[in-house]
Chain A
Amino acid sequence: MGFLGFLISGISLGSIYAIIALGYTMVYGIAKMLNFAHGDVIMVGAYICFFAVSKYHLPPLVGVLAAMAVCTALGIVIEKLAYKPLRQATSLAVLITAIGVSYFLQNAALLLWTSSPKVFSNPFIRQTVNEAGKKIKITGFQLFDGQLRISYVTVVTIVVCLVIMAALVLFTGKTKMGKAMRACSEDKGAAQLMGINVDTTISVTFAIGSGLAAIAGVLLCSAYPTLVPTTGSMPGIKAFTAAVFGGIGSIPGALLGGLLLGIIEIMAKAYISTQMSDAVVFLVLILVLLVKPAGLLGKKVREKV
């Protein structure tokens, strides 16, 4: 029963990585850049939700929507101010800028919200009254006579991830804007010749990725409640790893990479060593990339003459 519990935790953690990895992979696919500030957008989203709920006593759902709105706007602004002027620059210049934006967001958060940790209150709880008439909070349910405990946040995370994936597959496959995004990610010049405004399309991509980062931030902090200005950086790097693992630029790859990464991490923590879990994760990544350099579902670069 332990194994099943670990597997579910792994899938849940992996779902969060997958949602973050989508932002990396979509932006990479279209703008051919690694947006290392993506992890910090997660942190901003979590703070917004935290303040909305704890300080202004708004319902958690409103908090999530506020976080999404702020992060979407933040993503668009970051792209316009920091990356758009570098559209023709070398990829190294863009990479350094992305790292700069990441530090900027972390330090802005430090200035605005200080370094003292905020404790994120888990919104996925049920209040009930026990036999003695006292109010208690239930955070999950139990199966198999209490041998398997699953928290609500775990279930919500997995469901949200699946819904987001399905929505994105529909969006990129069926809608005009979604198809335009795929066209831009394949050939920007040809996309422009179709009448597609590449700048708008890149903006929309950043908006979607950042909106998803806000959701990931709330889910992450519901499961791991300590919120500090550097909260986003490690999950950000892990999710980037997941995106590369699955094949950067590929949306199903982000899901697969995220889930595998989450499962490997939890299994390594459970059966090998808590301290070594990240080492195990990255060892697996290295092995996968040695065999499949484009990632599990990455596109082979094909040339046709």
Chain B
Amino acid sequence: MLKASDLNVYYGPIHAVKGVSFEVNEGEIVTLIGANGAGKSTILKTVSGLMRTRGGSIEFLGTGISAAAPHRIVRLGIAHVPEGRRIFTSMTVEENLDMGAYTAPPAELEEDKEAVFERFPRLKERRKQVAGTLSGGEQQMLAMGRALMSHPKLLMLDEPSMGLAPILVEQVFDIIRSLHDAGTTILLVEQNAEMALAIADRAYVLETGRVAISGTGAELARSEQIRKAYLGG
């Protein structure tokens, strides 16, 4: 479904992603794990078009997207829930969802909103509330709900558990699982490697801009090297 080859991404003179290649097949949950600064978020930004790769290629459903504008990539069916959620804090919960549906047919707007509210009942209670007043967990729910409004074929989640209490982290992962069960393909970036590996079909471990190891979630979770480096022994 998504095939990235030889991504090289720079922040000015800094070579942040060095020749990374990975694939996401339809129906999979694939996770990118690794320490801070390993290049995980940069890779997602490059897929969604916010950053550019020098050389290399990104294909989504057979179309090259490495030079496409971000708003076009959304229309192809990729939704990106960015790091730090980046909801529109001055807009209401409902307006945030409206923005998520920017590329979707207007006729389905109300129906889609109801579907999001069903998945995230807290958002329904707060639909008229300004999003900046939501708690961290609710903001994460809103960011995910907003992304679902575009009917993505591929959902990219950047650190959805960041800054959340353990019980909310569990909830977020439950939601990821249920989205996956409903047929959404998921590319997940996480620092919480243990939980990410537990739900992932396949995983790539990144170290300073390179893929260090890749394999199935279960394989990597058992790997001695991974346990030492990321799972605290």
Contacts and interface: CB of A to CB of B under 8 A. Distances in A.
Interface in A148-176: 176
Interface in A194-224: 194-198
Q: Which of A192, A197, A299 neighbours the largest number of chain B CB atoms within 10 Å of its CB?
A: A192
Given A179-B99, A187-B88, A194-B99, 8 more contacts: A182-B88, A192-B70, A193-B48, A194-B150, A195-B74, A195-B75, A196-B99, A198-B71
A304 interface: yes
B36 interface: no
Nearest to A186: B88
Interface of B: 48-50, 69-71, 74-75, 79-80, 82, 86-91, 95, 98-100, 102-103, 106, 132, 146, 150, 163
A183 B163 contact: no
Given A179-B91, A183-B88, A187-B88, A194 B49 contact: no
Given A195-B75, A195-B150, A197-B69, A182 B91 contact: yes
> Chain A: interface residue count, which band?
20 to 34
A193 B89 contact: no
A302 B163 CA distance: 18
Contacts, number: 69
B90 A182 contact: yes
Nearest to A182: B91
A198 B79 CA distance: 17
B182 to A, nearest CB: 21
A119 B193 CA distance: 74
B102 A190 contact: no
A195 B103 contact: yes
A192 B75 contact: no
A190 B132 contact: no
A197 B106 CA distance: 17
A191 interface: yes
A25 B80 CA distance: 30
Nearest to B74: A195
A190 B90 contact: no
